[in-house]
A and B are shown apart, each in its own frame.
Chain A
């Protein structure tokens, strides 16, 4: 158990809908990262937050947004969902910077029908 929790484990929704994925980092970790993993793309970095502020952006679509709250948990919002958004979404956390060891949560499996 990495200490990173993610909810829900599974999410099934329809195209055009909006969903929110939640992540709680390991105790004491200030950085949260979001990744998307689909069958043909591997792990794609989406966005990083550090102590409530956006630190880095990767291949995140404009339909996607995230935030980190004062208690350090983070939410990833996905809107106007498309079939191609079906994937595993992972959250990872690290103590401080982007070069720290990252610990991954169990992931949320999103299926868009």
Chain B
């Protein structure tokens, strides 16, 4: 079992839809969580950074962490074609480097 898993997609949704992107993990020591957006052949761009469990909202993006289920989510409201990209989750334990998920490819269709 990989340490961090993501549905690779591709996930296709119509413009305006609510998108749910998810990662599961096996290491219960993880407590730092990040979401990145990566456009094709570009560097990953940080979207959200959260510590421990709970929700964090930033504009159209909401990150949720459920440590009891070892499950994190990124919700995108009112999705736009410009949101079409690969979304990477990353997580780490204290003093450890981040482990990245393989990424989910999202296409938002106009």
A residues sitting closer than 8 Å to B (CB atoms) are 2, 4, 33, 35, 42-43, 45, 48, 56, 58, 88, 90, 97-99, 101-107, 109
Contact B43 A2 (CB under 8 A): yes
Contact A102 B95 (CB under 8 A): no
Contact B34 A102 (CB under 8 A): yes
Contact B101 A42 (CB under 8 A): yes
Which residues does chain A contribute within 8 Å of B46, judged by CB atoms?
2, 101-104
Which residues does chain A contribute within 8 Å of B96, judged by CB atoms?
98-99
Contact A101 B34 (CB under 8 A): yes
Contact A109 B41 (CB under 8 A): yes
Which residues does chain B contribute within 8 Å of A35, judged by CB atoms?
100
Ranked 9 nearest A-B pairs via Cβ: A104-B43, A42-B102, A43-B100, A98-B97, A104-B44, A106-B43, A99-B32, A101-B49, A107-B43
Which residues does chain A contribute within 8 Å of B78, judged by CB atoms?
none
What are 30 A-B contacts defined by CB distance under 8 Å? A2-B43, A4-B43, A42-B88, A42-B100, A42-B102, A42-B103, A43-B44, A43-B100, A43-B103, A45-B97, A45-B99, A48-B97, A88-B41, A90-B43, A90-B44, A98-B92, A98-B95, A98-B97, A99-B94, A99-B95, A99-B96, A101-B46, A102-B46, A102-B98, A103-B46, A104-B44, A104-B45, A106-B42, A106-B43, A109-B41
A105 to B71, CA, bound (A): 28
Supply 16 further A-B pairs (C-beta < 8 A) apart from A88-B41, A99-B32: A2-B45, A42-B100, A43-B44, A45-B97, A45-B99, A45-B100, A98-B92, A98-B95, A98-B97, A99-B92, A99-B95, A99-B98, A104-B45, A106-B43, A107-B41, A107-B43
